[in-house]
A and B are shown apart, each in its own frame.
Chain A
Amino acid sequence: MECTKIKAKLADYSVGLLAEREKQMVEAHLAQCPSCAAELRALERVDRVLRTVEPEEPPAHLWNSIRARIEAEPQRVQIPFWQRWFSVPRLALGGAAAAAVLVAIAYFSLPRSPEGDAPQHDNAEQLMHTHQMMSWGDPLSDKAALGVMLASRSQPQEVP
């Protein structure tokens, strides 16, 4: 193989890119051609020069600038999954607890008849009708209806 063709392959040879057969042909030529061998040495020196140059140091203040910009951003609040699980229904749970307390207060503040807890309401049909009407439009109507019922139960007791 002539020198021109060999020289065109020397860079590939120097990085180990040649197939075995081509590699052997190049090595056979290099063994008897001082010009091509010198060319290979020059390529290998490029490799050594590049390994010798000193990298440019990044400026020391860079991290402080980056940190300042990170800290100027809105905080990324990391919430554990169990807290996230509780965080959404917490309001609902609180509301339910408050409603339960109100119901309990209302229930225990009612005066009881000495004969027992039998309902005093004499118009149950009207109460059911009111409850149904309210439940159509209001998901909280159970509580409202309960309030209506309790109020109506307490009325006879308020009259002396």
Chain B
Amino acid sequence: MFERDNQLVERARAGDVDAFGDLYQHTHRRIYQYIRQMVPTSEDAEDLMQEVYLRAWSGLKQLQANEAFWVWLHRIARNAVLDWRKRKQLTTVSLESTFTDDEDGETEPVEAADWSENPEQIALSEAMQEAVWQAVRSLPENHREVVTMYYLEDMGISEVAQVLGVPKNTVLSRLARARETLRRKLSYLVDAK
């Protein structure tokens, strides 16, 4: 994957838009998950996706040879989100308040999950999934980032640490705090019946 991406990066650097399209196909789901969790609406996420990939296209020459394309891209996405927030804060209310429900309380209860049939697996209804998203989006930003990368983008702890530029134990600590918060918010889903 890394080798193949490197070849695509070289072609894209030479102006090959199709090669850049392949890089987009390899990365866009992950990057979209991240951005979608960082901004309140899917329209904002779409705008930011375009901004991220245009920034990447313009800045391909700055990508170091020993750096994975998608890790580099993730940093661009992170910076784009931070810039977006600065712009929004100048004009509207803060991002946190656009997401937050009752900060420490539960999200609005939906039907309870049934863990009795298979304690290892759970099938979530659409309403349950929405409740989980809502709970995740109400997390503090640095916890939400880690949860999104670890669970939705399926990144390892080392990779998350690399993108965020923090030690692995910091990532684990944020993950632990996020689990505690979500355990409270989703108690109707995770408490034993």
Judge whether B180 is part of the interface by a CB distance below 8 angstroms: yes
The 10 lowest CB-CB distance pairs between A and B, nearest first, are A58-B32, A11-B176, A45-B190, A50-B151, A11-B180, A42-B190, A17-B172, A78-B14, A15-B172, A15-B176
Residue-by-residue, is B109-135 near A (CB-CB < 8 Å gives 1, otherwise 0)? 000010100001111100001001100
What residues of chain B lie closer than 8 Å to A67, measured between beta carbons? 17, 21
Number of interface residues of B (CB under 8 A): 51
Judge whether B2 is part of the interface by a CB distance below 8 angstroms: no
What residues of chain A lie closer than 8 Å to B13, measured between beta carbons? 78
Judge whether B76 is part of the interface by a CB distance below 8 angstroms: no
Judge whether B75 is part of the interface by a CB distance below 8 angstroms: no
Give bound CA distance, A12 to B177, whole Å: 8
* B33, A15: Cβ atoms closer than 8 Å: no
**Further 20 A-B residue pairs, CB within 8 A, beyond A50-B136, A55-B29:** A17-B173, A17-B176, A38-B192, A41-B192, A42-B192, A43-B179, A45-B189, A46-B190, A47-B179, A48-B121, A49-B124, A50-B147, A52-B121, A53-B129, A57-B29, A62-B28, A62-B46, A63-B24, A63-B28, A75-B15
Q: Which of the listed residues A14, A56, A59, A69 has the most CB atoms from chain B within 10 Å of its own CB?
A: A56
Residues on A lying within 8 angstroms of B by beta carbon are: 11-12, 14-17, 38, 41-43, 45-59, 62-63, 65-67, 69-71, 75-78
* A52, B122: Cβ atoms closer than 8 Å: yes
* A48, B14: Cβ atoms closer than 8 Å: no
Q: Which of the listed residues A47, A58, A67, A77 has the most CB atoms from chain B within 10 Å of its own CB?
A: A58
Give bound CA distance, A75 to B28, whole Å: 24
